[in-house]
Amino acid sequence: MSSDDILAVRDLKVSFTARRAGRKYRVQAVDGVSLSLAEGEVLGIVGESGCGKTTLGRAIVGLVQPDGGNIAFKDDDAIAAGGAALRAMRLNVRMVFQDPYASLNPRRTIGDSVAEAGDINGIFRDRTDRSAMIASTLTAVGLDPSFATRYPYELSGGQRQRAGIARAILPTPSVVVADEPVSALDVSVQAQVLNLMMDLREQLRLSMLFISHDLGVIGQISSRVAVMYMGRIVERGATRTVLDHPLHPYTRALIAAIPKPDPSKRILGAIEASEPPSLFKRPAGCAYAARCPLASDRCLVDIPQLRSAGADDRALACHNV
C-alpha cells in the first residue's frame, strides 16, 4: 500500500457454492483481484455481465465473506485486525447498489433507511440530531426533507437512487463503492444522478470505486480503470491510455463494442459475437482464450498473470501482447 492509498485489496478471492442439475459446483466469482485506490481518486471497474464486479464490491464493503486475500483500509489490514479497525472500515467504505429498489427496505421509511448506519453505530446525539442529519443528507442528494417519512414505493426510480446514495453518505464515508449506480435508471435521469455523484465526490472528498459495464461512462468519470474478465483483472491503467491504446484483446473487443452514433461504422466485436464462457467450467489456462484472436497453445494451459506494462500503473495479463 503506498502512502496516498486509502484502500488496498490484495489477492481477493470469493467463491460460491451453486447447484446445477442436482450437482454442487464451486463458482469462483472473484479469483485473485488486487487493486489500490488513492485518496480522492475514481477507479473504474469494467467488464461484462457475470465477471464478478458486484461480488468484488460486496466483498470490499463486507457483504460477502472472501475466502482469500486481504483488504487494507488506511494502512490497517482491517479484516485481520477485526474489532475497531473493521468497524471503522465498514463505516468508511460504503456501497451504492445497482438496483435502488432492491437495496431499500420496502417496509422502512426513507429516513430510517438513510439513518441505518448511523443508528447501528450510535452516531446521533438524540432524536432531533438524527432528524436534522437525515434532512441535511436528503437535501444534499437533491430530495426534499419531507421524503424522510415516505416509503420506497412512493418514489420514482431516480428519487430512489438518490435515497440509496443518501444512505451511503450518512455518516460521510471516505470511500464509496458505486455498483452500476445508474444502469437501472431511465436514460433521462442517468445523467442527473451521475452528476450528483460527481458533485458529492468533490464536496465530500470521496474516493470511489465505480463499477460499470459501460466503458463510455467509465471514460467520463474515472481517472484509472481496471478491466475484469471472469473474476480476474486483465488490464489496468490510466483511463485515457487504456481507452486510446488498449492492449488486452478483451479490452479491444469491449471498446469495439461501444455503440457508435453511426450504426454503419459499428464493428461487431468478439464480445457480441460469442457467449462468455461459463464460470461452471472455468478453462485451465487463460479464461479469454476461447474467444481470443491471439490465443496460442500456451494460453490453453497457462493462466497469464497481471504484470507491469508501462508507466502510470499500466498492467496487463496476456501472453501474446
Ligand X SMILES: Nc1ncnc2c1ncn2[C@@H]1O[C@H](COP(=O)(O)OP(=O)(O)OP(=O)(O)O)[C@@H](O)[C@H]1O
Residue 278, C-beta contacts closer than 8 angstroms, at least 6 positions apart: none
Report d(CA 37, CA 35) in Å as an integer: 7
243 scored as a contact of ligand X (CB under 6 A): no
Q: Which of 40, 50, 142, 171 binds ligand X (CB under 6 A)?
A: 50
- The contact mask relative to ligand X for 22-41 (x = CB under 6 A, - = no) is -----x-x------------
285 contact partners, CB below 8 Å, separation of at least 6: 298, 299, 300, 301, 302, 303
The residue (of 29 and 227) whose beta carbon lies closer to ligand X is 29
Pick the stretch among 48-56, 76-84, 197-205, 263-271 that binds ligand X (CB under 6 A).
Answer: 48-56
CB of 312 to Mg ion, least distance (A): 27
Q: Which of 26, 36, 97 is nearest to 67 (CA)?
A: 26
Tell me the Cα Rg of the chain: 20
279 interacts with ligand X by CB under 6 A: yes
173 preceded by cis ω (within 30°)? Answer: no
Residues 94, 168 contacting (CB under 8 angstroms): yes
Nearer residue to ligand X within complex by CB, 50 or 283? 50
Establish if 15 lies at the interface with ligand X (CB under 6 A): no
Q: Residue 170 or 230: which CB sits closer to ligand X?
A: 230
CB of 305 to ligand X, least distance (A): 21
- Smallest gap, in angstroms, from Cβ of residue 28 to Mg ion? 16
Query: HSE-up of 155 (CA within 13 Å, CB side)?
Result: 26
Interaction site with ligand X (CB under 6 A): 16, 18, 27, 29, 47, 49-55, 213, 279
